[in-house]
Amino acid sequence: MKTRFLFLVVLISSYCFSQSVNDYKAVLIPLKFDFVKSDNQYRLATLSKFNLSKAGFQGFYDNEPLPKENNDRCSLLYFDVVKEKSFLTTKLYITFKDCNGKIIFKSDIGISKEKDFQLAYTEALNKAFISVYALQYKYNDAGNSNPIAVSKPSPSPVSQVAPVALPIDEADNSQNVIVDNSKMLYAQPTATGFQLIDSAPKVIMKVFNTSGKDCFIAAKGNIQGVLIAKDNQWFFEYYLNDKLISEKIEVKF
């Protein structure tokens, strides 16, 4: 009986959270979190904005100007990543707060056993985002009699990308498709997903399971993103200079 009661409490709490976040137009993301020393260290702010965008949220860094329709600070959620003290593991969780500092949502804890800080923070944060994806956020503007259409910011040019970029039709200029000339990669199972190796063998990329069989959280060196299947092909997608990049990846699972 006690177990059933606890399950019911968790279920009700999750439902209330998912209902609450839908009432907010956008999310404000700090460039620096309390447990790091500098702005966007380990690319945590970039990774957060990328995941928020994938989860359906409109995210803004706290140092960038907001559109007029977002001038009401109490229409925004305030994003934060919190690190729990832990021995030999990295534990992170996400919170959304309102303008009064009240926690609207707290994610599950993402855990990594990686020793390298870059890999550990990336893995732990991506795992914490799984429960954010589960919210299936969609802004509820039913109470707004004159909803304002949010314009899409024009993309900034991509620089310092090694592969050759193929231009996309002007009607879809939100991303560049990057041709990856690397040889076939082979997937080796791990406790949390797969590591993709070349014929050397050398680990080229690490991917982590999500609830979808055709979507993995991915890390390639210092670049974090997602590995997704589209039209029977795999693509590694990530943000570079606030521009969405899509690399075709040849991988055999």
CB atoms within 10 A of CB 160: 6
Q: Is the pLDDT of residue 83 over 80?
A: yes
Q: Tell me: the pLDDT tens digits for 206-248?
A: 988 887 778 889 888 888 888 888 888 888 888 887 788 888 8
pLDDT over 70 for what percent of the chain? 76
Burial of residue 15, with CB atoms counted within 10 A of its CB: 0-12 exposed, 13-18 middle, 19 or more buried: exposed
pLDDT band at 69 (very low <50, low <70, confident <90, very high): confident
Per-residue pLDDT for 39 more than 90?
yes
Q: CA-CA distance, 106 to 82, in Å (whole number)?
A: 10
In this structure, which amino acid lies at residue 250?
E
What is the dotted CATH code of the domain comprising 2-133? Answer: 3.30.160
Residue 79 token pair: 């994003």
Residue 198 CA to residue 183 CA, distance in Å, equals: 7
Task: Check whether the bond before 153 is cis (ω within 30° of 0).
Answer: no
Structural contact between residues 211 and 133, judged by C-beta atoms closer than 8 angstroms:
yes
Residue-wise pLDDT for 153-186, tens only, equals 444 443 333 343 334 333 344 445 565 545 788 8
Model-level pTM?
0.55
Q: Which residue has the higher pLDDT, 146 or 130?
A: 130
The Cα-based distances of 239 to 3, 11, 37, 69 in angstroms read 42, 34, 22, 25
Strand, helix or coil for residue 201: coil
Give pLDDT, residue 178: 60
Mean pLDDT of 21-29: 92
How far is 26 from 9, CA to CA, in rounded Å?
A: 28
Q: What is the CA radius of gyration of the chain?
A: 19
What is the tens place of the pLDDT at every residue in 110-121? Answer: 999 999 999 999
Amino acid present at 146? N
Domain extents for the chain?
Answer: 2-133, 165-252
Pairing of strands 175-178, 243-249: parallel
Residue 207 sits at φ, ψ, to 5 deg, of -125, 145
| 19: alpha, beta or left? (left if phi > 0; alpha if psi -120 to 50) | alpha
Give whole-number Cα distances, 220 to 90, 92, 157, in Å: 19, 20, 22
Residue 224 is predicted with a pLDDT of 85
Q: Would you state the pLDDT for residue 211?
A: 74
Mean pLDDT of 75-91: 94
pLDDT reported for residue 149: 40
**Average pLDDT value for the chain:** 78
Which has the higher per-residue pLDDT, 155 or 129? 129
